[in-house]
Amino acid sequence: MDNSVRVLSTLALKGAVERLAANYAASNGVRIDADFAPTLALLARLRDGQASDLVILTREGLDEMAREGRVGVESCIDLARSYVGLAVKAGAAHPAIATEAALRATLLGARAVAYSRLGASGILFARLIERLGIAAEINARAVIIPSGFTAEKLISGEADLAVQQISELKQVGGIEVVGPIPLGLQTPAVFSAGRMTAAVRADAADHLLRYLASAAVAPVLRETGLEP
């Protein structure tokens, strides 16, 4: 039997899970077989019947899966908190974003802003620019990607600002994170994990859940832009 545990995870945890996987395999003899996508895409795949032992989603997404009976309620655990931030290409000037007024001016002055359609960050950003009254101006020249890492559009030159979870921005080389969107303008996303009720390797999933929630992984979460 393949000694692995199947994980479907939101992109925000990709950097952390990939960094933890080698140590976990070495210590426990179990390989983490992970696939990463935005939460909304993962929810669709799970509802279509895609198999997994463990899932890492936004807390809201995990609660939906638990209500539908796809995830064991008793297994659900919060892993990390994440904030949405802005990034520029490495070497570019860091614009002012510390206040609502500064952020608004920076967004309006950008040639193009890249954000994601399906990710939690993209949903927050779409609401934010509506609230700031600049949605039409920003979207007229925005680079909106269906999924993936928005900071890649900085490297390609298609955008000069990228918006996403800080943990996702930090997974792209050649960029610099300017900082978070002002905390008063956002609610941090909470990413949580749970065991699928149809898990083939339930015991392995439970062991991995305990590991991911342990103090041992906290430094890696912080290094990848997350708060344990």
The predicted model scores a pTM of 0.86
In order along its 228 residues, the chain shows pLDDT tens digits of 469 999 999 999 999 999 999 999 999 999 999 999 988 899 999 999 999 999 999 999 999 999 999 999 999 999 999 999 999 999 999 999 999 999 999 999 999 999 998 778 988 999 999 999 999 999 999 999 988 899 999 999 999 999 999 999 999 999 999 999 999 999 999 999 999 999 999 999 999 999 999 999 999 999 999 999
CA distance 73 to 104: 41
In the chain, the N- to C-terminal Cα span, in Å, equals 33
Q: Which domains does the chain have, with CATH numbers?
A: 4-81+188-223 (3.40.190.10), 84-185 (3.40.190.10)
**In one letter, which amino acid is 51?**
A
- With beta carbons less than 8 A apart as the criterion, state whether 91 and 187 touch: no
Question: What single string gives the DSSP state of each residue in the chain?
Answer: ---EEEEEEEGGGHHHHHHHHHHHHHHHS-EEEEEEE-HHHHHHHHHTT---SEEEEEHHHHHHHHHTTSB-GGG-EEEEEE-EEEEEETTS-----SSHHHHHHHHHH-S-EEEESSSHHHHHHHHHHHHTT-HHHHHTS-EEESSS-TTHHHHTTS-SEEEEEHHHHTTSTTEEEEEE--GGG---EEEEEEEBTT-TTHHHHHHHHHHHTSGGGHHHHHHTT-B-
CB 46 within 8 A of CB 198: no
